[in-house]
């Protein structure tokens, strides 16, 4: 039986992020991709104004009931931007629609650059911890990591000891593996740190001097696809970093394309890497 992954996150109708990234990227990895939208927005929230927003929490139990009647199950779950009220529903879906050995991949999307995203209150990180507990992998950035373990955000002012202490604190939340993104010890390099409770491994790629929307979703989606293909945590983490670089390179120089990365241009690279 082919593997089937369910991704649970919002749909931004315009703007390359969330489900509009996850569905094509994971599908390109050769994984059947099912979706459960947590909300629908006319655009994403970074740089656009006056966007519409519709919460879909009320649909989740109805969808679960239907899936159970149809005996629909999944080999993997990958969560992104969700609300506090949705976390109990998601945990129930993961419990009741899982095939044996199903993976749980949690991207605790809630913050960046030292601040929570609009709409999330100070209690949200503690609710997100409930989703992280028992996950096979969590994929926080440095800001999200700080909120999850109640540590001050240090920006770029940290050393290797800080990162390794952070990894251990994140692991103590109950996830089986931690992949911390946005790690850098040299200005010219940016990468990830992986921890499985025993060893810490780093992967660094050349830093691109630009900030682009949606790179976190590109990373998490390619990581999830590779992991479902049987790649190791470290190899999937490294592939995700390389794929983000390819996407950013494909976008550089186009000032009109400020709302995301041209990941579509880089999909052939991803497919080729996965077939190697």
- β-strands 32-43, 4-14: how paired? parallel
- β-strands 98-106, 137-138: how paired? parallel
Output Rg (C-alpha) for the chain, integer angstroms: 18
In this structure, how many other beta carbons lie within 10 angstroms of the beta carbon of residue 264? 14
Confidence (pTM): 0.96
What pLDDT tens digit does each residue of the chain (276 aa) get? 799 999 999 999 999 999 999 999 999 999 999 999 999 999 998 889 999 999 999 999 999 999 999 999 999 999 999 999 999 999 999 999 999 999 999 999 999 999 999 889 999 999 999 999 999 999 999 999 999 999 999 998 999 999 999 999 999 999 999 999 999 999 999 999 999 999 999 999 999 988 899 999 999 999 999 999 999 999 999 999 999 999 999 999 999 999 999 999 999 999 999 997
Q: Are 79 and 93 in contact (CB under 8 A)?
A: no
Look-up of token digits 């550089």:
252
Token couple for 112: 């960046």
Domain that holds residue 221: 4-275
- β-strands 178-183, 189-195: how paired? antiparallel
- What is the tally of structural domains in the chain? 1
- β-strands 189-195, 200-206: how paired? antiparallel
CATH of the domain at 112: 3.40.1190.20
């Amino acid at each position: 039986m082919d593997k089937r992954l369910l991704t649970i996150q919002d749909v931004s109708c315009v703007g390359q992020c969330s489900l509009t990234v996850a569905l094509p990227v994971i599908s390109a990895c050769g994984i059947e991709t099912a979706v459960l939208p947590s909300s629908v927005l006319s655009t994403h929230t970074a740089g656009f104004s006056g966007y519409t927003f519709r919460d879909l929490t009320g649909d989740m139990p109805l969808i679960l009931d239907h899936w159970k009647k149809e005996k629909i199950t999944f080999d993997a779950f990958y969560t992104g931007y969700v609300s506090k009220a949705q976390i109990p529903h998601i945990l129930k879906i993961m419990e009741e629609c899982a095939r044996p050995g199903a993976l749980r991949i949690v991207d605790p999307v809630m913050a960046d650059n030292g601040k929570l995203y609009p709409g999330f209150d100070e209690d949200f990180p503690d609710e997100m911890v409930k989703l992280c507990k028992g996950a096979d992998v969590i994929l926080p950035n440095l800001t999200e990591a700080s909120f999850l373990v109640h540590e001050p955000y240090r920006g770029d002012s940290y050393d290797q000891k800080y990162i390794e202490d952070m990894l251990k604190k994140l692991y103590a939340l109950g996830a089986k593996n931690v992949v911390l993104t946005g790690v850098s010890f040299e200005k010219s390099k940016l990468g990830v740190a992986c921890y499985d409770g025993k060893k810490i491994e780093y992967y660094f790629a050349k830093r691109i001097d630009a900030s682009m929307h949606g790179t976190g979703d590109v990373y998490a989606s390619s990581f999830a696809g590779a992991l479902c293909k049987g790649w190791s945590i470290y190899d999937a983490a490294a592939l995700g970093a390389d794929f983000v670089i390819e996407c950013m390179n494909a976008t550089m120089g186009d000032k009109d394309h400020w709302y995301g990365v041209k990941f579509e241009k880089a999909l052939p690279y991803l497919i080729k890497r996965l077939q190697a």
